[in-house]
Structure 1
């Protein structure tokens, strides 16, 4: 099964969709959204590098994530191009309350496989939410160039999501991963319920 078809079956399991008001707010704060998005791509690359450094013994993970690092950094460069061509300024990073609340849910301790599985699932969830928001932007932004841009990124993020889930199931019992994944989804739903709707944040 191609990963695109696999994604259709596995993706969009998010328990709570993004409030539709976010797109309207985001389109008004386009500069802030692009700057925040650039930092998200930078952090995505850093997260993959961190996994490779912390867990070098997991050969397949290293091999799968190495090209993802390059791809995420390419995304950062692409977002920066969108910022520059519009005459926007690249500002300082903002605190990402969404990711901070996901990080607080990571289980500590356990075996090396337990630890890497937890982090892979957290990264999968971030990619899933990013994919959903890129889809919303691609369908609703009046800026046609950015609409196409976000459609392409949506496809890429979906592929990363599948990578993370499949790797987690390689290093842990798939049923155990599935159960824990549902716990992650439930936690993320509660995070989204309490998160302020802001047009200057990608998450």
Structure 2
């Protein structure tokens, strides 16, 4: 199933430095956990789109574009958080493409805008795909609290710019890379249709991780690459991320740590 993805996955494994614990896979493949796994995955796709939209609004576009951008993910937020709508979003994820304007202060603003717009579009498409699977299997869409994973990294973000932006981009890379690694490791243990779906996500998730790293390096190069050493910062966040994945975790989620035995 994964043989042809070996070259794509190898740099992700090297970037992460550690594999998902087998005990997480054992928990994830249990039929009784499928609903929770899929619903949390759906939430994660929305959060990924929201995070990318935040980066665009805060750093890359003018005020008019920032206000316009707020409406892009609103139908999805309404469905998940406010129970508004039936989960049919039509072409809403494509409506704003081309209408946003990058601020001219830094050349990398246009790259942030271009890469994050593409990421948002793809994450919202994945959201719709996961929701379709949930509905087809007649599973319940439930509210779930966020896992500790992203928050456990975000609390280490530096408080001054551009260091904060660089850190947020690196965190985005780790989240995307870990998602890709888990999709690949879990897929062989799922039913054929679901396993095939998770394999279909590998290329986009791998590209997202690369986009985040490229943007972090661009920001550093445009400001002070000696002071803002992206490679060193990646190494620091790797330790943080690995610790979160290895730590005992009672709250099973897509990005949770090592499951605690019941």
TM-score, normalisation: structure 1: 0.90
Aligned match of 1:119 in 161, 168, 174?
168
Shift of 1:114: 2.1
Structure 1 residues 64 and 193, CA gap change in structure 2 (3 angstroms): same
**1:190 maps to which residue?**
243
* 169-178 vs 96-105, greater mean Cα deviation: 169-178
Structure 1 residues 192 and 8, CA gap change in structure 2 (3 angstroms): closer
Structure 1 residues 5 and 117, CA gap change in structure 2 (3 angstroms): farther
**SS at 1:55's partner residue?**
helix
**SS at 1:87's partner residue?**
coil
1:36-47 correspondence to structure 2 within 5 Å:
36-47=40-51
**1:84 maps to which residue?**
135
1:103-182 correspondence to structure 2 within 5 Å:
103-109=154-160, 111=161, 113-141=162-190, 143-173=191-221, 176-182=229-235
Structure 1 residues 5 and 165, CA gap change in structure 2 (3 angstroms): farther
Gaps of 5+ in 2: 61-102, 104-108, 256-262
Structure 1 residues 171 and 154, CA gap change in structure 2 (3 angstroms): same
Q: Greater RCO between the two (CA within 8 Å, min separation 6)?
A: 1
**2:11 maps to which residue?**
10
Aligned match of 1:23 in 22, 25, 36?
25
Gaps of 5+ in 1: none
**1:96 maps to which residue?**
147
Report the count of equivalent residues.
196
The answer to which structure has the higher helix fraction is: 1
RMSD: 1.9
The runs of 4+ residues in structure 1 deviating greater than 2 Å are: 4-10
**SS at 2:140's partner residue?**
coil
